[in-house]
Amino acid sequence: MKNAIRYEHQAHFRISHLVNRNENEILFALHGYGQLSEYFLKKMKPLFQEERLIVVPEATNHAYLEGFSGRVGANWMTKHEREAAIQNNNKYLNAILDSILVKYNYRPTLKVLGFSQGAATATRWVSQLTMPVDTLILWGGGFAHDLNPEKFGSKLKQSKCFIALGEQDGMITEESLLKQEELINSLSIKAEKVRYPGGHDLDTELLSRLLNI
């Protein structure tokens, strides 16, 4: 007989600097499959600014990347216990955001970046947020296929949405692009596609431009 239980769980995240309450922007950046928050944050070092707080949560599922030892990576979810994982991720990310916002006397602008697997997780999280999202950037990934079209479309009506695609990204196929196009149309949102010459990795120069549009 299958049962479920709720319990307190400890997870960690990294930030670009100690919160000083002078930031006018918070960037939540969700890493991709097999990555860790420490190294993902390092990739974004060129974006560090006193007025921008970068928050990189680490996915709570960890595994060895090869065999039974060596490098460890984290992932947001697998198909196993999928619905529970989605709920857990949303609650986890909500808890991080709430803990950070209490440090401010005003509400900074919220921007969200989802890289690779983190893109789908980012869209699911954004879909249930009560706080408005100024900018949503999906990098090397796309919108989750199980989003509620009516709810999600209205959620991002006033948001700037970008999909960054590397011209040499082997993870992106024509079939996946067509499916995303159909999904975007069903969600009734405007998402600008931006291409760059690299592969399945961040281009911080392009990312900086998108964050400042």
**Is 90 exceeded by the pLDDT of residue 188?**
no
Q: Which of 159, 193, 151 is nearest to 176 (CA)?
A: 193
Q: What CATH number is given to the structural domain containing 187?
A: 3.40.50.1820
**Is 90 exceeded by the pLDDT of residue 155?**
no
127: left (phi over 0), alpha (psi -120 to 50) or beta: alpha
Residue 3 belongs to some domain of the structure: no
Per DSSP, the chain holds a count of helices (H) and strands (E) of: 6, 9
Average pLDDT over residues 177-203: 92
Rounded to whole angstroms, the Cα distance separating 75 from 130 reads 25
Encode 73-121 in three state secondary structure.
EEECCCCCCHHHHHHHHHHHHHHHHHHHHCCCCCCCEEEEEEECHHHHH
Within 10 angstroms of residue 12's Cβ, the number of other Cβ atoms is 10
Residue 200 belongs to some domain of the structure: yes
- Write out pLDDT tens, residues 19-30: 999 999 999 999
Both tokens assigned to 132: 């408005």
Rounded to whole angstroms, the Cα distance separating 102 from 88 reads 22
**What pLDDT is recorded for position 206?**
97
Residue 168 belongs to some domain of the structure: yes
**What pLDDT is recorded for position 151?**
80
SS3 194: strand
Average pLDDT over residues 166-188: 91
Residue 6 belongs to some domain of the structure: no
**Is 90 exceeded by the pLDDT of residue 144?**
yes
Give the number of domains in the chain. 1
Rounded to whole angstroms, the Cα distance separating 165 from 201 reads 10
Residue 4 belongs to some domain of the structure: no
Domain span including residue 43: 13-211
**Is 90 exceeded by the pLDDT of residue 142?**
yes
Residue 8 belongs to some domain of the structure: no
Residue located via tokens 């249930």:
128
**What pLDDT is recorded for position 213?**
83
Q: pTM of this prediction? A: 0.95
